[in-house]
């Protein structure tokens, strides 16, 4: 997940180094159990399995379009992101961080996003209820 601009100041100054260390620990693969999607691999999801066609830097030199190789599946590039298991950007203990592909990071954060969206809607609704 990209860092939201409003949260950027909550990340430590050495976030770039912390992120690199977590990717190194993960061997540049998604750390979600059962997922071995590789950072910058190009391919497609078929159920729970990712099929790698090539790496991003190879895609441009391929004779065949990657989409043709995927035969109807949506071709994507895996982008590993660093997740905070407790959703607190300041908490950068390695045990709290995980390198996850976008699919698994989103799956993990889904409940958190749902609650945040609800709270945002509620706050906006309350603002509309303020007396003039």
Per-residue contact flags (x/-) with Zn ion for residues 84 to 103, judged by CB under 5 A: -----------------x--
Structure tokens at 60: 């441009």
Does residue number 32 form part of the binding site for Zn ion (CB under 5 A)?
Answer: yes
Which stretch in 4-12, 30-38, 68-76, 115-123 sits in contact with Zn ion by CB under 5 A?
30-38
CB of 96 to Zn ion, least distance (A): 18
CB of 89 to Zn ion, least distance (A): 21
Does residue number 44 form part of the binding site for Zn ion (CB under 5 A)?
Answer: no
Structure tokens at 1: 């997940």
Q: Return the closest-CA partner of residue 19 out of 97, 106, 132, 77.
A: 97
Q: What's CA 100's distance to the chain center, in Å?
A: 6
Which stretch in 7-15, 36-44, 61-69, 111-119 sits in contact with Zn ion by CB under 5 A?
36-44
CA distance 87 to 97: 10
Strand 41-46 relative to strand 49-55: parallel, antiparallel, unpaired?
Answer: antiparallel
Does residue number 104 form part of the binding site for Zn ion (CB under 5 A)?
Answer: yes
Per the CB < 8 A criterion, the answer to whether 30 and 99 are in contact is yes
Binding site for Zn ion (CB under 5 A): 30, 32, 35, 37, 101, 104
């Amino acid at each position: 997940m990209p860092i939201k601009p409003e949260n950027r100041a909550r990340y430590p100054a050495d976030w770039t180094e912390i992120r690199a260390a977590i990717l190194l620990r993960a061997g540049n693969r998604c750390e979600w159990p059962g997922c071995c999607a590789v950072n910058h691999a190009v391919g497609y999801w078929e159920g729970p399995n990712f099929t790698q066609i090539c790496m991003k830097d190879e895609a441009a030199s391929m004779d065949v379009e990657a989409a043709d190789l995927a035969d109807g599946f949506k071709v994507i590039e895996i982008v590993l992101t660093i997740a905070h298991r407790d959703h607190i950007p300041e908490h950068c203990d390695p045990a709290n961080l995980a390198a996850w592909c976008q699919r698994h990071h989103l799956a993990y954060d889904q409940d958190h996003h749902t609650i945040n969206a609800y709270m945002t809607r509620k706050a906006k609704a309350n603002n509309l209820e303020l007396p003039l």
